[in-house]
Amino acid sequence: MFKYLKKYYIFCILAPLLMFGEVYMDLLQPKLMKIIVDEGVLGLSDGGGGNLGIVFSVGLKMVLFVCIGGFCGILSGVFANLCSQNFGNDIRKDCFRKTLGFSFEQTDKFSTGSIITRITNDITQLQNLVTQCIRGFVRTGLIIIGGIICLLTLDLSFGIVIICALPVILGCVIFFIAKSAPIFGTLQKKLDGLNGVMQENISGARVVKAYVKEKHELGRFSEANKDLVDTQLRVLTLFAYMSPIMNIFLNSAVVAVIYLGGISVRGGGITPGAVMAAVTYITQILNAVMRMNMIFQTVSRGMASAERINEILDTEPSIADGDFDGATDIKGTVEFRNVSFGYGSSTILKNINLTINKGETVAVLGATGSGKTSLASLIPRFYDADSGQIFVDGVDVKAYKLSALRSKISVVLQKSELFNTTIEENILLGKSGASHGEVEAAAETAQAKEFIERRAGGYKSLAAEKGMSLSGGQRQRIAISRGIIKNAEILILDDSTSALDLCTEAAFYKSLNAKYPDTTKIIIAQRIASVKNADRIVILDEGRIDACGTHAELLETNEIYQDIYNSQLKGNIGEAV
């Protein structure tokens, strides 16, 4: 974490230096008040006659010193916040950059709710920690040390009060901090759980409403919220005991100073003004110790958050970048050699061997769970194969720089992820800087142009968050447009036409093949109608390639394909589409 502070070392130095000025001005105030009481009011050096001139002149000094101290305090706060906010900004960007490099498996391991909590709340706790370290600790430390020195200069007997009170109060602080520190890590985990429930319900609001599960989800949220509140209450209860206990010791110390001071005044050892100054100093010292309580709370919570942030920063992406920049003579080829893959202990793909040539349209068909999406996900390295090799344009995908590999591939998923911006901006995610004409051409190929232009605002109309203002088929067509405009060598359509009617789907594939004959197309689908015109159709069965051939060949020779065909198209008008 310290490397993030190096850039702002000037602020780290200036903030405590200015805080020193503020504390020094604060420590001068009791001594000036002593002069006002002893000389201005009581006139101890002038036969008991007061002197308003001293009251006025010393009072002006006090006001001036307060202004100087306030100015130093303001600048100290400004520099401390400049340091902590920029520190937090840098860590937040690095954490977000790191999460973007995580594989899907790593993202699932942390969970979306936890990542959101870490990048928002945990980094805020770290910012508070930095502010307290370069400002709060300095202030309380200087007041405690400076106050003790000033107190002892008034009368050494006051040291007895410090010797008795300070260790007890420090012991209380240490005890309560030791009890509460482990709870802060738990508190952040409970916040993860709450954010996870909120994120699921906001993104899945339509499902909740459709199944009338509002009461059920409210129960889940209430349970997560209760866990969070109960954990917070454990901490707050501890410190609720601490505050009155500390006040008892504080007031006892003040009484002791007044008592000892009274004895000394009667004996002529010190003046009444010195007793007042001593009371102020002891109050400043013990209040500073009590403030340590709040500072240590911030530190304990910040340290717990720092561990959680370091988990993200120290996690190396499981998909490592290669060195190859992607320049090849061969374009648009994919080859699987003895590839096996699974999630955890479950093997999904088993010994896959498949070659796809440039410009070829290859469809992958199979039952749910047969490994179709997993097969497609290995090509752009969303996951790495457990064994075997995958080649794109004759080069092992692990040798590529990820950006170079993925620039060759365009992926359109079944779940169309749209962003809360215009339709045009959503399409332009596929190719930044593309002209409006290119956007229209991609939309036309995807059969999206007509419905887009009918909307008020056309391409400039908002898609709303996750495209909720659009139908499922419209969202898919915008996502397809985004994939097409990229004009990549390899286009993977992962069940991305499932929400389209057969006529629209057929028109899309006809347009795609006509306009992009050299693009290699890999179609993952459930419907025979989506794949029957492909150059080759790969049948996956329980993670293995059962057969590979044209529609006519498979209809003649493959039992799985025949079963799918008979269940979907035999005697169905859809075959004619």
> Does residue 424 form part of some domain?
no
> Does residue 479 form part of some domain?
no
371 and 307, same domain (yes or no): no
What is the rounded distance in angstroms from the CA atom of residue 382 to the CA atom of residue 206?
28
What is the rounded distance in angstroms from the CA atom of residue 260 to the CA atom of residue 161?
9
96 and 232, same domain (yes or no): yes
The structural domain count of the chain equals 2
- Which of 255, 287, 313 corresponds to the end of one domain? 313
- Write the burial class of residue 137 (CB in 10 Å: 0-12 exposed, 13-18 middle, 19+ buried): middle
pTM of the complete model: 0.71
Residue 167, amino acid? P
Sheet holding 387-392, edge to edge: 346-356, 334-343, 387-392, 395-396
> Does residue 217 form part of some domain?
yes
What is the rounded distance in angstroms from the CA atom of residue 101 to the CA atom of residue 272?
69
Which pLDDT value is given to residue 575? 44
What is the rounded distance in angstroms from the CA atom of residue 563 to the CA atom of residue 415?
27
302 and 340, same domain (yes or no): no
> Does residue 342 form part of some domain?
yes
> Does residue 436 form part of some domain?
no
238 and 131, same domain (yes or no): yes
> Does residue 548 form part of some domain?
yes
275 and 153, same domain (yes or no): yes
304 and 350, same domain (yes or no): no
Which pLDDT value is given to residue 465? 62
What is the rounded distance in angstroms from the CA atom of residue 69 to the CA atom of residue 18?
9
- Which of 283, 313, 343 corresponds to the end of one domain? 313
Q: 365, 537 in Cβ contact below 8 A?
A: yes
- Which of 313, 347, 365 corresponds to the end of one domain? 313
95 and 129, same domain (yes or no): yes
Q: What is the CATH number of the domain that holds 548?
A: 3.40.50.300
139 and 207, same domain (yes or no): yes
Q: What is the CATH number of the domain that holds 52?
A: 1.20.1560.10
Which pLDDT value is given to residue 467? 64
227 and 374, same domain (yes or no): no
Angle subtended by helix axes 52-101 and 9-35, to nearest 10 = 160
* Lookup result for tokens 């529609």: 551
Angle, CA 403 vertex, CA 88 and CA 466 arms, to 5°: 65
**DSSP character string of 458-525:** GGGSB--GGGTTS-HHHHHHHHHHHHHHT--SEEEEESTTTTS-HHHHHHHHHHHHHH-TTSEEEEEE
Which pLDDT value is given to residue 554? 93
308 and 338, same domain (yes or no): no
- Encoded tokens for 447: 């059969």
- Encoded tokens for 285: 């010292």
**DSSP character string of 397-409:** GGGB-HHHHHHTE
Consecutive 10-residue runs of the chain (577 residues): their mean pLDDT? 85 92 92 86 73 87 93 94 92 90 80 84 90 88 88 79 78 77 78 80 71 82 87 80 76 80 77 86 81 78 85 85 87 94 86 94 89 91 92 94 92 84 91 92 93 90 74 90 93 90 91 93 90 92 92 92 84 44
Which pLDDT value is given to residue 408? 93
212 and 354, same domain (yes or no): no
The whole domain housing 232 covers: 2-313
Q: 370, 560 in Cβ contact below 8 A?
A: no
The alpha carbon torsion through 438, 444, 450, 456 (nearest 10 deg) reads -20
Query: What's the per-residue H, E or C state across 321-359?
Result: CCCECCCCCCCCCEEEEEEEEEECCEEEEEEEEEEECCC
> Does residue 456 form part of some domain?
no
Give the count of beta carbons closer than 10 Å to the beta carbon of residue 277: 27
Which pLDDT value is given to residue 24? 93
65 and 193, same domain (yes or no): yes
> Does residue 49 form part of some domain?
yes
